[in-house]
C-alpha cells in the first residue's frame, strides 16, 4: 500500500493505509477510535485494538507528517482523531 504527499511516495502497511483512508474520507471531521477500529479491523472489539490504533497513528505521523513538517493527523482529546488536509487546524 502506498500514499503520496508532495510528489513523494510513502509506503504504508495495510492497517496504516486503512486508518489513513478512514480519516481522509471524513476529512475535517472527528472520527472516534471505535469508528476507526470498526472500519479497519476485521476482529471486532474496540478495547482489544485501541493500543494498536495508537501505534498505527504514531507510525502514520512519522511517515506522512514529520518528513513534511506538517500535522495532518490531529488528536482531539476525549473524542478521537481528525485529518486536516492543509496541515492546519490545531
Q: State mean pLDDT over 9-26.
A: 96
What integer pLDDT is reported at residue 90 of this predicted model? 46
What integer pLDDT is reported at residue 45 of this predicted model? 63
CATH for 2-83, options being 3.60.70.12, 3.40.50.740, 3.40.50.10740, 1.10.10.10? 1.10.10.10
What integer pLDDT is reported at residue 76 of this predicted model? 96
Using the structure block, give the residue that is written with the C-alpha cell 508532495: 6
Model confidence pLDDT, tens digit, residues 30-48: 999 999 999 999 876 666 7
What is the three-class DSSP state of 32? coil
Is residue 30 within 8 A of residue 80, CB to CB? The reply is yes
Tell me: pLDDT of 2 over 70.
yes
What integer pLDDT is reported at residue 42 of this predicted model? 82
Domain boundaries along the sequence of the chain: 2-83
What integer pLDDT is reported at residue 46 of this predicted model? 61
Amino acid at each position: 500500500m502506498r500514499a503520496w504527499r508532495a510528489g513523494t511516495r510513502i509506503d504504508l502497511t495495510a492497517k496504516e493505509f486503512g486508518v489513513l483512508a478512514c480519516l481522509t474520507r471524513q476529512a475535517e471531521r472527528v472520527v472516534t477510535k471505535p469508528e476507526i477500529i470498526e472500519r479497519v479491523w476485521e476482529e471486532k472489539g474496540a478495547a482489544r485494538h485501541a493500543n494498536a490504533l495508537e501505534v498505527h497513528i504514531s507510525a502514520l505521523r512519522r511517515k506522512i507528517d514529520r518528513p513534511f513538517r506538517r500535522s495532518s493527523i490531529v488528536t482531539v482529546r476525549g473524542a478521537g482523531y481528525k485529518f486536516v488536509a492543509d496541515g492546519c487546524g490545531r
